Structure 1
Amino acid sequence: MLKALLFAATTFTACKVSTPSGAGNHLYVQKEGREEKSWKLVWKDDFNGKALDTTKWTRIPPGKSDWNKHMSSHDDCYRLDNGLLYLRGIINPDTSVDKRPFITGGIWSKGKFAFQYGRIEIRAKLECARGAWPAMWMLAEQDKYGTYPRNGEIDIMEHLNHDSIIYQTTHSYYTLNLKQTGKPPHFGTARLNLLEFNTFGISWYPDRIVFQLNGQDTFTYPRVKDVDPSQWPYDQPFYILIDQQLGGNWVGKVNPTDLPVQMIVDWVKIYQ
């Protein structure tokens, strides 16, 4: 009964500030005029269950890009323990079928939850390793403007190797294809509390994306007038990706002796 009441309360709150739509009402579009009002919690996961909540998340499948070439659904890449989700980068324990030397864990909310405008906060601890590339980011749920990168990408946080900073970035056709990376600047960095839990997030408005770390604003990407319209594809619902990536052109080679490496996630909260 208590769970039912809590679910009803969350749903009621969400309906007041959002207009859920799509299959299973998984698209949370913030109502117009709410952007400068106080935030209300509309969706969260505390990872308190014994298994990953598959109504909210899916394990990210492998792909051919740098970021997902080691993604795996192997159970050794995932662990839930005492309210924490462990996403692990490990040496592949069995290369007889899967020839990849390393495998990694990651989750996304694609097809299950996406939101347009609001605040996302993710509390997590990042471990360090040579070749470790943990990331929290967002991609468009629907192809409103065409194929990638037309719909944009929002990188809430990326961390490389043993760095003491994180990168917070926007990518789009405007920045990648038209090379407009400085009009306005499309990324910033922020110093984190290395090896401690930090809260990573953005506050997303119709005219700007404000990146944050531990409740402090770190970098703002504004919507700009009188430029190519591809500068602002951020007017549609985006889903969430959280993954412990390994290796690639940006982060460099993996040092197997540094593995396993983990991103430990405490919770994810969405406000509108």
Structure 2
Amino acid sequence: MQYMGNSGNIYNVVDKRIAHGGEGDIKEIIGMPSQVAKIFKEKFRTAERQEKLSVMIKKKLSPEQLEMIAWPQDVIYDSTGFVGYIMPKIENKKSLTILYSEKKYDLQDRLLAATNLCAAIDMVHEMGSICGDLNPQNICVNLDKNDSTNEFKISLVDVDSYHYETPEKTYRCEVGLPEYIAPEMQKKLAQGYSIIDAPLPTYTRETDLFALAVHIFCLLMEGCHPFACAKDFGEEQEYNIGRMTSENIPSVVAPQ
């Protein structure tokens, strides 16, 4: 399939997907091995999303930043209109949740991953952006111990959902995973708001740091959430820990 970019570039995208999620598919681009296309399902091809991505691509990242943050590079269209965007291809990466519970990785491995996660989120903040939804499915780690340069290096993906602000407008991160949402946001959700309509501010640098602390705790405590054992919930406690180590828990608009 052929798509036209905002830049004027033509992208020949293969039909077969290499990954997929709730919003769309990731596909390779012929002749561009270092980049991929994210093609949204029709219901997610909204004018608001198109506008947000068109603003995001104006921020140019360095090659070092692009290795850690899969930042949108171009917005693409077919004959019907907006369909998705172009982003860097992330190689040899698995979800951070593997380190939560996999016994073959020792404390030093987990500490290195935690340090690299801190560096990646700090880089996002230095850019003036906010992650928002830090679902571990959006945090990829290089587990190739033969790759000494990039071993346990972190890459952040699905950054089109980030909470992104300009002087003119705030483009909200509209979803979240309850285990990583800070108390100040939980209070707003408890009042009946969703993340989409809650009074601003919603996601901030501080809420990112709360989620970061949860991830680090889980890395060091084999997938246990810092609040999971605050009270004995019996079987429910096991369910909570199971959720933390799962790779298939989707972020939602109104997490509870």
Q: What TM-score comes out, normalization by structure 2 length? A: 0.25
Q: Relative to total residues, which structure has the larger strand share, 1 or 2?
A: 1
Q: Which has the higher contact order (CA 8 A, sep 6+)?
A: 1
Q: Relative to total residues, which structure has the larger helix share, 1 or 2?
A: 2
